[in-house]
Amino acid sequence: MFKVLRDLLRYNREFLCGTLLVSIILGVVIASFFAPYDEMMTYAVIPDMPPGPEYWLGTNSRGQDMFWQLAASMRNTLMFGIVVALISRVIAIAVGLISGYVGGKTDQIIMAFNDTLGALPNIPILLLLVFVLRDQMTWPVLALTAALLGWTHDSRLIRSVAMSLRTREFTRHAAFSGMRTGQILLREHLPYVMPIVFFTTMNNLIWAIGLEVTLSILGFSDINRPTIGGMIYWANAHSAMVAGIWWWIAVPMVAVVMLFIGLFLLAMSVNEYIDPRSRLARMGA
Amino acid sequence: MTKVLEVKPAIVQSADVLTIKDLKAYYVNDLFGVRREVRAVDGISLTVRRNEVYGIAGESSSGKTSLIKTLAGAIRPPMRVVDGSVNFTFGNTKIDVYAEPEKMKTARWQNLSYIMQGSMSVLNPVRRIKHAFDDFAYRHMGLDRQAFRQRVQSHLQKLGLDPNVLEAFPHQLSGGMRQRVTIALATVCEPEFIIADEPTTALDVLVQQDVLGLLKEVQGRLGSSVVFVTHDMSVHAAITDRLAIMYAGRLAEEGPTQAMFDNPQHPYTAHLIASLPRIGDLSIRKSLAGKPPSLANPPSGCRFHPRCPIAVDRCSKEVPEMLPSAIGGRVACFRAGEVSVK
């Protein structure tokens, strides 16, 4: 494992860049646990200070240090993204593999449901739920809702691969040797779709973070809890751009773009590594 | 000592491992109220004895693969067993494949293994070879991990394979090695019955010879029975003890391979054998006019009669039965032994 990482860092430039970007973000996230002030507290420091030696990323009009705000926001936003991605991955893999392998009526019913859900617009549904639930709409509930909406594309993708795998000789061989359906799906088909799962996880993470940012900017989340979107919401509420406090908007934007690019580069290079054929091609075999 | 050796084969020879009685398996399509039957296996009876290599030959689409899928119990819709029975005898247990599917499940791989057609793709491309052994054979062996690994390694060594192949992915192996790995995979549980569906078709002649030798050796060592299917008559001549010729879903002839090559009884067998090139013989091989009939709408009577050079009136009206032939086998022809193709 360690050797694999070392080789990837040494020979794969995309992986190196991705690792650097993501580790900067992760470093900031870890720093959030050592924050000197409560992240919810306002007017803890002098407001509207530009970035400088004392306040690295400046302070905002609510008297919060931007660095510690960013740290807490990144942690919360990333947490949201990961929870959404994990839950939706489990659903997407299960639905995709089962639907593709079992086929027939089961497949038709599952896919009808899948397509219906996929055709529904996500943002309006989430907005509606936010209005209905109001105070009960905590971030775990929001994450669960987003996860339940975010698996349909990927399950279709996985299903298409599973349908092809079903007719391959090794599946028939496995079935003949007496492996149960669950075993075939987990041990024969899951490794095959793993690169797709990995790549879509990264995509889904990016999508989930984007969703969180969108909802928070519009103010449809707990606005006192710092998140990337929440930071931009407050900056807009205080007309930061008009007031000339550009760093209030720039800091969360740059950070989230760094995270997106870092995740994308990681996804790309690890995806290439997971597929033994492209791995060997890179090694020159 | 010699007496024992004489007696033993006699006992072994008499035991039938596989008995098929009047087996009929059709592909049944029911689309928009129109029922279509493709009679891929149409009334076949045969027995396979212990410790023999039983060949099944025939043209493409003569129902070879359908027959062995049916006897392995590995069919799925739209294919259906319409009539007849398939019985295996493994040691003291008798299994009726279609009456006792549960018993059959436990027998698979342990007693009955299957080297599938296109076995180049039998190995999962994203899993290491050792995982294929884990997945397919581990459950059936009843050994702990350590002992199982050792057993697999020694088995590979016996087949002339480096145990390092266990760590390899299928695409890192050559075609011949992959084929050998699949044979190792099919024989690691030391099954009594092995079905080989065209295992050498995609290989070149030299590798083919290697693989055939390997299969024959494994079969001899385990004392198991092999049903070997291929359209390549020269492979049958090299490896099989008894041979069955299939034509349009039925058996045309069955008998000891050597005798059949020397003295074919059925006109179809005669033409198949005559089509084989011989070293030094420069004459152009005659091919039989026409092509195999559609199995959805087969000809009446003997299915071979439209192409048969010695057909008589009776052939198009009556279905010939499988009757004992002059060379110690069975043949389904009213004019058995009358043909001579040179």
- Among A188-197, A217-226, A236-245, B7-16, name the one with the lowest average pLDDT: B7-16
What's the confidence (pLDDT) of residue B9? 41
pLDDT at A234: 92
Q: What is the mean pLDDT of residues A144-167?
A: 92
Flag whether residue B116 sits within 8 Å of chain A, measured between CB atoms: yes
Order of strands, sheet of B330-331, starting from the edge strand that comes earlier in the sequence = B112-115, B193-197, B225-229, B53-57, B242-247, B250-256, B330-331, B323-324
Q: Can you give the residue ranges of every domain in chain A?
A: 31-254
pLDDT digits (tens, 9 = 90+) for A5-32: 888 888 888 899 999 999 999 999 999 9
Taking alpha carbons only, the member of A216, A215, A163 closest to residue A192 is A163
Q: Beta partners for B226?
A: B53, B194
pLDDT of residue B11: 41
The predicted pLDDT at position A17 comes to: 94
pLDDT tens across A89-100, in order?
Answer: 999 999 999 999
CB contact under 8 A, B135 and A277: no
A70 pLDDT band, cuts 50/70/90, is very high
CB atoms near residue A283 (< 10 Å):
9
Q: Does domain A31-254 have CATH number 2.40.50?
A: no
Tell me the shortest Cα–Cα distance from A177 to chain B, in angstroms: 6
Instruction: Give every CB contact of residue B316 below 8 A, 6+ residues apart in sequence.
Output: B299, B300, B301, B302, B305
Q: Give me the total of CB pairs closer than 8 Å, taking one residue from chain A and one from chain B.
A: 62
Among B residues 91-110, those touching chain A with beta carbons less than 8 Å apart: 105-106, 108-109
- Give the percent of chain A with pLDDT over 90: 48
pLDDT for res B342: 56
DSSP B139-178: HHHT--HHHHHHHHHHHHHHTT--GGGGGS-GGGS-HHHH
To test the contact with chain B by mutation, choose from A176, A188, A280 the residue with the greatest count of B C-beta atoms within 10 A, namely A176
Whether A68 has a pLDDT exceeding 80, the answer reads yes
One-letter amino acid at A19 equals T
Instruction: Look at residue B120 in the predicted model and tell me its pLDDT.
Output: 64
3-state secondary structure chain A: CHHHHHHHHHHCHHHHHHHHHHHHHHHHHHHHHHCCCCCCCCCCCCCCCCCCCCCCCCECCCCCEHHHHHHHHHHHHHHHHHHHHHHHHHHHHHHHHHHHHHCHHHHHHHHHHHHHHHHCCHHHHHHHHHHHHHHHCCHHHHHHHHHHHCCHHHHHHHHHHHHHHHCCHHHHHHHHCCCCHHHHHHHHHHHHHHHHHHHHHHHHHHHHHHHHHHHHHCCCCCCCCCCHHHHHHHHHHCCHHHHCCHHHHHHHHHHHHHHHHHHHHHHHHHHHHHCHHHHHHHHCC
- Contact residues on chain B for A194, CB-CB shorter than 8 A: 126
Burial profile A30-47: b = 16 or more Cβ within 10 angstroms, e = fewer: ebbeebeeebeeeebbeb
pLDDT digits (tens, 9 = 90+) for A240-283: 889 889 999 999 999 999 999 999 898 888 878 877 777 777 76
pLDDT for res A285: 54
Q: Do A188 and B106 touch (CB under 8 A)?
A: no
Q: Is the Cβ–Cβ distance between A46 and A37 less than 8 Å?
A: no
Under 8 Å between Cβ of B325 and B256:
no
Q: Which residue of B has its CA nearest to A165?
A: B124
Q: Which residue of A has its CA nearest to B120?
A: A169
Mean pLDDT along residues B301-330:
87
- Rounded to two decimals, the ipTM of the complex is 0.72
Which residues in chain A touch residue B140, judged by CB atoms under 8 angstroms apart? Answer: 177-178
Q: Which residue has the higher pLDDT, B176 or A216?
A: A216
Distance CA B162, CA B156 (A): 7
- φ/ψ (deg, to 5) at A93: -65, -50
Interface test with B, best of A105, A168, A177, A196 (most B CBs within 10 A): A177
Interface test with A, best of B103, B110, B113, B122 (most A CBs within 10 A): B122
d(CA B87, CA B26): 19
B230 Cβ contact partners less than 8 Å away, ≥ 6 residues apart: B55, B57, B198, B199, B200, B201, B236
Which of A11-15, B90-94, B317-321 shows the lowest per-residue confidence on average (mean pLDDT)?
A: B90-94
Nearest-CA distance from A171 to chain B in Å?
Answer: 8
To test the contact with chain A by mutation, choose from B116, B126, B138 the residue with the greatest count of A C-beta atoms within 10 A, namely B126
- CB A178 to CB B106 under 8 A? yes
- What does the pLDDT average to over B226-236? 88
pLDDT at B6: 41
Distance CA A153, CA B126 (A): 24
pLDDT of residue B109 exceeding 60: yes
pTM of the model: 0.78
Instruction: Among B74, B124, B169, select the one facing A170 at the smallest CB separation.
Output: B124
Going by pLDDT thresholds of 50, 70 and 90, the confidence category of residue B186 is: confident
Stretch A183-209: mean pLDDT, rounded? Answer: 89
Lowest mean pLDDT among A71-75, B5-9, B182-186, B246-250: B5-9
Query: What is the structure's pLDDT at B118?
Result: 66
Q: Under a CB-based contact definition with an 8 Å cutoff, are residues B231 and B60 in contact?
A: yes
Displacement of CA B135 from its chain's centroid (Å): 25
User: Is pLDDT above 70 for B14?
Assistant: no
Distances (CA, A) of A212 to A2, A73, A204, A230, A233: 34, 11, 12, 9, 12
pLDDT of residue B233: 87
Three-state DSSP state, B288: coil
User: 3-class SS at B198?
Assistant: coil
Average pLDDT, chain A: 89
Q: What is the mean pLDDT of chain B?
A: 83
Q: Nearest chain A residue to B136 by CA: give it.
A: A177
Q: Does the structure show a pLDDT above 60 at B4?
A: no
- Our CA-based measurement puts residue B105 at a distance from the nearest CA of chain A, in whole angstroms, of 6
Contact B194, B109 (CB under 8 A): no
Cα–Cα distance measured from residue A65 to residue A56, given in angstroms and rounded to the nearest whole number: 9
Q: What are the pLDDT digits (tens) for B288-301?
A: 777 788 888 888 88
Determine whether the interchain pair B124/A191 forms a contact, defined as Cβ–Cβ distance below 8 Å: yes
- What is the CATH code for B2-240? 3.40.50.300
Which of A177, A188, A275 is facing B108, going by the closest CB pair? Answer: A177
**Confidence label for A82 from pLDDT (cuts 50, 70 and 90):** very high
Sheet holding B93-96, edge to edge: B34-49, B16-31, B79-90, B93-96
Cβ–Cβ below 8 Å for A172 and B74: yes
> How close does chain B come to A192, measured CA to CA in Å?
6
CB pair distance less than 8 Å for B126 and A192: yes
Q: How far apart are CA A88 and CA A281, in angstroms?
A: 32
